[in-house]
């Protein structure tokens, strides 16, 4: 069902980022295993949102799939997530390629088992020439971790520390090849960013919804776009 109040075609965000919260609560609500919520998100929720973004002409979408803090969850859930990544990457890379979507990844993927890291790298390479939309997955990603990793690379650059600027530091971040998010959506009812895109989100419009991510449909995406277009973006001016 399409929302009667559709967003205007102009003034749409170029980049929308998602904090995909609520998968575990969705599973508990439906009396299913924790992994079932993550599975529904990976195989049923994300693709329609990508298709909707393509339809609306949104150039970039980013999904936070695994944080640097998620390693501290129960071993059974972490192992289940790793196996889900293996399955989902294999399936979704081919779908993204067929859609003309370019896949990217941000985060420190070296911490994953080598077969998963290789799948990610292969997916990025396979879709590199696609240009219909850029779909980024934040994997083993944390905003503070990203900034620390960037600072650690400074000695290998030509940037004198005393002359470092926000512009040249931005070139060392994982997101160097994409614009900052115009709209950042968090599902699941929590109203915080939890470090997601900490540097890049300073002027993002924030949209919080109680809808759990597995239930976040294109209609819900549309509601977020309508709200986005009501906002006045001043960028501190």
Q: Which residue numbers are catalytic? A: 21, 70
User: Contact at 8 Å (CB) between 222 and 3?
Assistant: yes
d(CA 35, CA 237): 45
Residue pair 175/191 in contact (Cβ under 8 Å)? The answer is no
Residues 164-184 as b/e (b if ≥16 CB within 10 A, e otherwise) read eeeeebeebbbbeebebbbbb
Closest CA to 42 of 71, 17, 66: 66
Alpha helices in the chain (DSSP H): 23-29, 34-40, 46-56, 75-99, 114-126, 143-152, 166-170, 218-230
């Amino acid at each position: 069902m399409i929302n009667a109040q559709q967003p205007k075609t102009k003034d749409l965000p170029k980049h929308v980022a998602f904090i995909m919260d609520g998968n575990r609560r969705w599973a508990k609500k439906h009396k299913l295993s924790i992994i079932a919520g993550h599975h529904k998100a990976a195989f049923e929720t994300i693709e329609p949102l990508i298709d909707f973004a393509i339809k609306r002409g949104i150039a970039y979408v980013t999904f936070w799939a695994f944080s640097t803090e998620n390693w501290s969850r129960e071993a059974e859930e972490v192992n289940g997530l790793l196996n889900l990544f293996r399955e989902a990457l294999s399936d979704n890379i081919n779908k993204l390629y067929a859609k003309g979507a370019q896949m990217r990844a941000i985060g420190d993927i070296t911490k994953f088992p080598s077969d998963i890291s290789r799948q990610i790298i292969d997916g990025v390479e396979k879709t590199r020439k696609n240009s219909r939309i850029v779909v980024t997955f934040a994997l083993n990603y944390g905003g503070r971790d990203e900034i620390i990793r960037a600072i650690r690379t400074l000695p290998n650059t030509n940037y004198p520390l005393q002359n470092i600027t926000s512009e040249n530091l931005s070139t060392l971040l994982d997101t160097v090849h994409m614009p900052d998010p115009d709209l950042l959506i968090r599902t699941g009812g929590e109203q915080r960013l939890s470090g997601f895109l900490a540097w890049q989100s300073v002027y993002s419009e924030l949209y919080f919804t109680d809808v759990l991510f597995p239930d976040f449909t294109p209609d819900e995406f549309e509601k977020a776009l309508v709200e986005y277009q009501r906002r006045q973006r001043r960028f501190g001016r």
